[in-house]
Amino acid sequence: MMNSAFFTALEKICPAERILTRDAQLLPYESDALTAFHLKPGAVVLPESEAEIIDTVRLCHEMAVPFVARGSGTSLSGGSLPIPDGLVIALNRLNRIKKLDPEQRIAVVEPGVVNLHITQAAAPYGLYYAPDPSSQSICTIGGNIAFNSGGAHCLKYGMTSNHVLGMKVVLADGALTQFGCESVEGVGIGPDLVGLFVGSEGLFGIALEITLRLMPQPELYRTVLAAYDDLGRAGDAVSMVVASGLLPGAMEIMDRLAIKAAEASVAAGYPDAEALLIVELEGEAPQVQAEFEQLRGIIEDSGAFELRVANSEEERDRIWKGRKGAFSAVGRLSPDYIVQDGVVPRSRLGEALLAIGALKRQYGLDVANVFHAGDGNLHPLILYDGREPGALERAEELAGEILALCVSLGGSITGEHGIGMEKREYLPAMFSEEEIDIMQALRRAIDPKEIANRGKMFPGGEAPALKQQGMHPLEKQGIISRE
């Protein structure tokens, strides 16, 4: 536990002014982007070097003090929620790009480097870093690794795991190790330990130095905005694009509520529509031009009542600014909201959207739909007012119904936000008891004291609101049983 002996030892690692213990200092760390959940940590430490992180983790292991590694706190699943009487290790000061090799097309970075800063550093060499979460202007690489973040362009380029070549890691027991290497040619040799660590939600330790793959900037972009008078029809259009054999860089959908929020926030100039579909083609100019003609025909056949094509970089930026700012913009419409990220097969997108529409009417709550349509990754934003008694509980029950819907349609409970604190009790919907036991055994082999991000991912107490709901949403649909 965190006692005077622990703090005395910690002050030998980091000076006292970088150890935060006063309530006012701890307040910014009590929650992440899932603001419905908040806990006060025992303390926060602000390391400024790799050595300080290693020594801090070793001290936590020695004295059995639980810790949470935190970057910018943009987790939408409560993944960086503090542990009561635990330590938060804030990584924002480890924000150096240690190496950028344009010939090898790699960047070696510290965990506190902001995602977008890598692309900005690589741009003079005609390169960029492909994973682009909506929070890319603030989220850090350490957090992207913890949750295997994707973004709008994950359809074509994959998730974070597809772009990490190697990592230097301090495991939860204090051991220092190296996964992968700096060479693309080295990927695929031996066990995929990089793949094991990426997406582990901080349960194994902390990545100290990460080698990332950089991509050449596309020669040409063609960005298309299609407007629909029906959300289901927009979802069906995605299936038509995929069935055609086209592989766009991105396909995104926004519904009327999300459009309204984006317009109020950034004045993107979107059409008045029930749904917008954004499709972006990218690559070599001849190929993109040929694909664009094919895409135009598909969109026209899909029932869109308006088709816009970005004819300049400024117009392209305006389209994406509205989409990337949609999450924060929804805050203009409601004091509180919950975001889910369940996944459904692309062929069943239209069906899923119609079902979500029926559910929101049943619960009497507004839902703004913004999502990565290309891989079926839904992002329903459930709006509620936390000042109203029972509002959070009702919103969480609706969120559970949407997750149950995704599973029943052959999908997943998470595409990129992770399990975190919020979706722990839904894990049995995806995995058998034996599979979860294997996961936990692996976790204990690496972290025998279970001090790294304790209480996350695995079932072990429902989200606070769900305790009041009676039957679990997944039980209602016969997906799990508590008997």
Q: How confident is the model at residue 467 (pLDDT cuts 50, 70, 90)?
A: very low
Tens-digit pLDDT profile for residues 266-322: 888 899 999 999 999 999 999 999 999 999 999 999 999 999 999 999 999 999 988
Residue 253 has pLDDT above 70, yes or no: yes
Domain final residue, candidates 148, 183, 216? 216
In a domain, 482, yes or no: no
Q: How confident is the model at residue 476 (pLDDT cuts 50, 70, 90)?
A: low
CA distance 282 to 250: 9
472 lies in the same domain as 351: yes
- The pLDDT of residue 108 is 98
- The pLDDT of residue 474 is 52
Domain final residue, candidates 270, 304, 329? 329
> What is the CATH number for 176?
3.30.465.10
Q: What is the mean pLDDT of residues 176-194?
A: 79
- 223: its two tokens: 């960005």
In a domain, 278, yes or no: yes
Q: What is the mean pLDDT of residues 183-188?
A: 62
Could you write out the DSSP letters of every residue in 189-232? Answer: SSS-HHHHHTTSTTSSEEEEEEEEE-EEPPSEEEEEEEEES-HH
Q: How confident is the model at residue 482 (pLDDT cuts 50, 70, 90)?
A: very low
Residue 412 has pLDDT above 80, yes or no: yes
- The pLDDT of residue 473 is 53
In a domain, 49, yes or no: yes
Residue 173 has pLDDT above 70, yes or no: yes
In a domain, 436, yes or no: yes
Q: What is the mean pLDDT of residues 76-95?
A: 95
Instruction: Confirm if 476 and 359 have CB atoms less than 8 A apart.
Output: no
Residue 462 has pLDDT above 60, yes or no: no
Q: Which domain holds residue 197?
A: 97-216
159 lies in the same domain as 232: no
Residue 8 has pLDDT above 50, yes or no: yes
Alpha-carbon distances, residue 290 vs 246, 284, 287, 293, 301 (angstroms): 11, 10, 5, 5, 17
Type of residue found at 177? T
- The pLDDT of residue 3 is 92
Query: Residues of the chain with pLDDT > 70: what percent?
Result: 94
In a domain, 413, yes or no: yes
Domain final residue, candidates 164, 186, 216? 216
Q: How confident is the model at residue 465 (pLDDT cuts 50, 70, 90)?
A: very low
235 lies in the same domain as 188: no
Strand 97-101's sheet: what is its strand order? 97-101, 106-109, 205-213, 164-171, 176-180
Residue with the bigger pLDDT between 204 and 460: it is 204
Q: Name the strand (E) or helix (H) holding 438.
A: helix 433-446
In a domain, 483, yes or no: no
- Longest CA–CA separation in the chain, Å: 70
> What is the CATH number for 368?
3.30.70.2740
405 lies in the same domain as 470: yes
364 lies in the same domain as 420: yes
Residue 172 has pLDDT above 70, yes or no: yes
Task: Write the DSSP symbol of residue 90.
Answer: E
Residue with the bigger pLDDT between 150 and 111: it is 111
Tens-digit pLDDT profile for residues 52-63: 999 999 999 999
Q: Name the strand (E) or helix (H) holding 282.
A: strand 275-283
Query: Residues of the chain with pLDDT > 90: what percent?
Result: 75
How does 372-409 read in b/e, with b if 16+ C-beta sit within 10 Å?
bbbbbbbbbbbbbeeeeeebbbbbbbbbbbbbbbbbbb
Expressed in percent and rounded to 5, the helix, strand and coil fractions of the chain are: 40, 20, 40
226 lies in the same domain as 207: no
Type of residue found at 443? R
Alpha-carbon distances, residue 218 vs 281, 287, 290, 324 (angstroms): 10, 11, 15, 20
- The pLDDT of residue 470 is 47
Instruction: Confirm if 402 and 356 have CB atoms less than 8 A apart.
Output: yes
Q: What is the mean pLDDT of residues 40-49?
A: 97
CA distance 234 to 240: 10
Tens-digit pLDDT profile for residues 196-241: 999 999 999 999 999 999 999 999 999 999 999 988 889 889 989 9
Residue 326 has pLDDT above 90, yes or no: no
- The pLDDT of residue 35 is 84
Q: How confident is the model at residue 469 (pLDDT cuts 50, 70, 90)?
A: very low
CA distance 85 to 224: 50
- Number of domains making up the chain: 4
Average per-residue pLDDT in the chain? 91
The residues near 51 (Cβ < 8 Å, ≥ 6 apart) are none
Residue 189 has pLDDT above 80, yes or no: no
Q: How confident is the model at residue 182 (pLDDT cuts 50, 70, 90)?
A: confident
Residue 402 has pLDDT above 80, yes or no: yes
Q: What is the model's pTM?
A: 0.90
Residue 12 has pLDDT above 70, yes or no: yes
CA distance 292 to 42: 55
* CA-wise closest residue to 13 among 64, 42, 50, 41: 50
In a domain, 434, yes or no: yes
Residue 471 has pLDDT above 70, yes or no: no
- The pLDDT of residue 443 is 96
Q: How confident is the model at residue 93 (pLDDT cuts 50, 70, 90)?
A: very high
368 lies in the same domain as 464: yes
- The pLDDT of residue 466 is 39
- The pLDDT of residue 188 is 59
In a domain, 207, yes or no: yes
Measured from the Cβ of residue 193, the count of other Cβ atoms closer than 10 Å reads 16
Q: What is the mean pLDDT of residues 33-42?
A: 89
